[in-house]
């Protein structure tokens, strides 16, 4: 039994107390915003994933890192997935899907990728906080994550810094999408494991 269990949170001091408090803060904020994500919007995005010949993911910064994680999970399900900007990513074409994420919906590179994808006949699906944004306008399926944008300093929506809540909920949402697709696929974990990287 550790000291926290024996003495309880009231006995914590300094960094330990701050961590205990902020762990709860982060979990509470994620849970609150994730509950507000519309399952019907997610269902429309999942339909786009199912229908796509190939899936390309595009995001900048931490949002881009989250989509790279999502791309890996979709690959584990047997889908063909590419990360925009990687040297091995091929040209996008009709029948493909660009899955994009931008909290503001105005990130220049992500919006340009969405416009280019649409111009080549591909579909676009997006995660954003901003339904009226250029990214949302380019997308056939949009999932709104009602978190603060990274420039909303002092937002009443979050006490966390610069877009953290959007990125955290984005990760949780993409994991729930993967889990839902896996439930339908009904493949054994061992089958997915055969696609796991073995050159690490």
Is 184 among the catalytic positions?
A: no
pLDDT band at 148 (very low <50, low <70, confident <90, very high): confident
- Percent of the chain past pLDDT 90, that is, above it, reads 82
Residue 197: Cβ within 10 Å count:
8
Single out the catalytic residue among 167, 175, 184, 200.
167
Residue 6 clears pLDDT 90, i.e. is over it: no
pTM for this predicted structure: 0.90
- Which domains does the chain show, CATH number per domain? 13-185 (3.40.50.10490)
Residue 35 clears pLDDT 60, i.e. is over it: yes
Of 7-16, 50-59, 61-70, 76-85, the poorest mean pLDDT is in 7-16
pLDDT band at 25 (very low <50, low <70, confident <90, very high): very high
In the predicted model, what is the mean pLDDT of residues 9-18? 85
Asked whether 158 and 23 are in contact (CB, 8 A), the reply is no
In the predicted model, what is the mean pLDDT of residues 91-119? 97
Asked whether 127 and 167 are in contact (CB, 8 A), the reply is no
Q: Which residues contact 75 (CB under 8 A, 6 or more apart)?
A: 81, 195
Arithmetic mean of pLDDT over the chain: 92
């Amino acid at each position: 039994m550790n000291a926290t269990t024996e003495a309880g949170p009231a006995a914590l001091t300094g960094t330990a107390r701050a961590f205990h408090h902020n762990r709860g803060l982060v979990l509470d904020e994620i849970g609150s915003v994730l509950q507000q994500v519309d399952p019907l919007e997610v269902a429309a995005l999942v339909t786009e994933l199912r229908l796509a010949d190939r899936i390309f993911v595009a995001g900048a910064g931490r949002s881009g890192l989250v989509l790279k994680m999502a791309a890996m999970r979709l690959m584990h399900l047997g889908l063909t997935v590419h990360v925009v900007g990687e040297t091995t990513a091929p040209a996008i074409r009709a029948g493909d899907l660009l899955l994009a994420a931008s909290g503001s919906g105005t990130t220049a590179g992500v919006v340009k990728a969405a416009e280019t994808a649409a111009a080549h006949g591909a579909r676009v699906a997006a995660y954003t906080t901003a339904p009226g944004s250029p990214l949302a306008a380019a997308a056939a399926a949009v999932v709104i994550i009602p978190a603060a944008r990274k420039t909303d300093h002092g937002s009443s929506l979050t006490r966390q810094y610069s877009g953290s809540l959007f990125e955290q909920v984005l990760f949780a949402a993409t994991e729930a999408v993967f889990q839902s697709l896996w439930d339908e696929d009904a493949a054994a974990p061992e089958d997915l494991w055969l696609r796991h990287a073995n050159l690490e």
